[in-house]
Amino acid sequence: MNKVYIKAINYYLPEQILTNDQISERFLEWSAEKVAKKVGITERHLSAENETAADMAYKAAEKLFAENPKVKEQVDFLLLCSQSVDYKLPSSSCILQDRLGLSKKCGAFDFNLGCSGYEYGLAVAKGLIVSGIANNILLLTAETYTKYIHPEDKGNQTIFGDAATASLISTEGFAEIGEFVLGTDGSGAKNLIVNTGGSRNPEKTGNQSIDENGNIQWDDNLFMDGGAVFNFTSDVVPPMVEGLLAKENMVQDDVDLWIFHQANKYMINYLRKLMMIDKDKFYIFMEKVGNTVSSTVPIAIAEAKKENKLHGKVLLAGFGVGLSWGATMINCE
């Protein structure tokens, strides 16, 4: 079977920044220090009013191409992971193919997935290469979740930021992509959702309600039942990791670095302690970017690589909206 690698990686952050001080000015009961302690985030980037996920994906791809001359002409497939696409149709990936100047022989499609999106994207890219359909795949992740958040939703405002990433998946590179464990539990779909704007509920209602746990839910904005999502994560991540280690014929101590979806510092540190993962092997990069959904893991990979921490066996794991989860192992030089 052909070996498949991450060959290059880069990311883009919008210029506008929302700091904890700005949040505390709007919600006086929350100090900047309290927000930082609770979620491990001091600032997050916000897409501009007219800046879309596709705009950001374009900028991430151009950064990757600038650092890797001649790569653009080699791309023969484009994958875009986003829940913030420009239009109901056509696919934003098709628009990006033209905008980036990629070959018209390049395949392209969007896939709608959130926090596990990068792992799923790696799985699809690997399958396309192993099957002989493609050789050099541009995998893009891009989200503008901050556009979905209600101005009075202080909880989600402290967590989410906007970003885009670009990865080149190829038959050579710095990180060989290993086995996968993927999973889905659609019964939890309403625990992280935007209720209106799609075909099920196309018109905005302006309605809000309070659930039995005291959570405010705005029909037209992002809703997250934090407790339910936390419980889901605690239930699925440990067995997901165990399943991946079994597929790789490894034990936990064989893993050199762990990169989990950067949901918030409290959640992933809880998982680290629950699974008894060595703190020195557990990589966190969210303080200056926040939870960027499908972009958290590739951003962390890029930063770990810059810090010369990306060596040996690196376990990647994503989990969240869907509900969905995925993990893979990359073997780094």
User: Could you tell me if 142 and 185 lie in one domain?
Assistant: no
**pLDDT, tens only, 214-246:** 667 888 999 998 889 999 999 999 999 999 999
The model's confidence at residue 173, banded by pLDDT at 50, 70 and 90, is very high
The pLDDT value recorded for residue 5 is: 98
- Asked if residue 1 has pLDDT above 70, the reply is no
Distance separating alpha carbons of residues 290 and 44, to the nearest angstrom? 5
User: Could you tell me if 247 and 290 lie in one domain?
Assistant: yes
- Report DSSP letters for 142-163, one per residue: EE-GGGGS-TT-HHHHHHB--E
- Report DSSP letters for 103-140, one per residue: -TT-EEEEE---TTHHHHHHHHHHHHHHTTS-S-EEEE
**pLDDT, tens only, 41-50:** 999 999 999 9
User: Could you tell me if 94 and 236 lie in one domain?
Assistant: no
The pLDDT value recorded for residue 30 is: 80
The model's confidence at residue 125, banded by pLDDT at 50, 70 and 90, is very high
The model's confidence at residue 29, banded by pLDDT at 50, 70 and 90, is confident
CATH code, domain carrying 107: 3.40.47.10
User: Could you tell me if 170 and 238 lie in one domain?
Assistant: no
User: Could you tell me if 170 and 186 lie in one domain?
Assistant: no
**pLDDT, tens only, 205-214:** 988 888 766 6
CA neighbor of 159 nearest in space, from 13, 264, 12: 264
User: Could you tell me if 312 and 188 lie in one domain?
Assistant: yes
What's the chain's average pLDDT? 94
The number of distinct structural domains making up the chain is: 2
User: Could you tell me if 160 and 183 lie in one domain?
Assistant: no
User: Could you tell me if 93 and 159 lie in one domain?
Assistant: yes
Name the percent of the chain lying above pLDDT 90.
Answer: 85
Alpha carbon 59 to chain centroid, angstroms: 17
Tell me the mean pLDDT in the region 6-17. Answer: 98
The model's confidence at residue 127, banded by pLDDT at 50, 70 and 90, is very high
Tell me the mean pLDDT in the region 248-253. Answer: 96
Query: Of the given ranges (27-31, 104-108, 187-191, 270-274), which has the lowest mean pLDDT?
Result: 27-31
Distance separating alpha carbons of residues 35 and 45, to the nearest angstrom? 16
User: Could you tell me if 39 and 146 lie in one domain?
Assistant: yes
**pLDDT, tens only, 128-170:** 999 999 999 999 999 999 999 998 888 899 999 999 999 999 9
The pLDDT value recorded for residue 13 is: 98
User: Could you tell me if 148 and 45 lie in one domain?
Assistant: yes
Question: Largest alpha-carbon pair distance within the chain?
Answer: 58
Tell me the mean pLDDT in the region 29-50. Answer: 90
Task: Answer for the pair 143, 116: CB distance below 8 angstroms, yes or no.
Answer: no
User: Could you tell me if 161 and 198 lie in one domain?
Assistant: no
Domain closes at, from 128, 157, 174: 174
Domain extent at residue 231: 179-332
The model's confidence at residue 266, banded by pLDDT at 50, 70 and 90, is very high
Domain closes at, from 174, 204, 226: 174
The pLDDT value recorded for residue 218 is: 86
Domain closes at, from 174, 207, 224: 174
The model's confidence at residue 249, banded by pLDDT at 50, 70 and 90, is very high
**pLDDT, tens only, 280-293:** 999 999 999 999 99
User: Could you tell me if 212 and 150 lie in one domain?
Assistant: no
The pLDDT value recorded for residue 213 is: 63
CA neighbor of 257 nearest in space, from 196, 329, 189, 156: 329
Dihedral (CA of 115, 113, 184, 241) sign:
negative
CA neighbor of 300 nearest in space, from 205, 185, 207, 175: 175
Tell me the mean pLDDT in the region 90-95. Answer: 98
The pLDDT value recorded for residue 155 is: 86
b/e code 124-160 from CB counts within 10 Å (16+ = b): bbbebbeeeebbbbbbbbbbbbbbbbbeebbbbbbbb
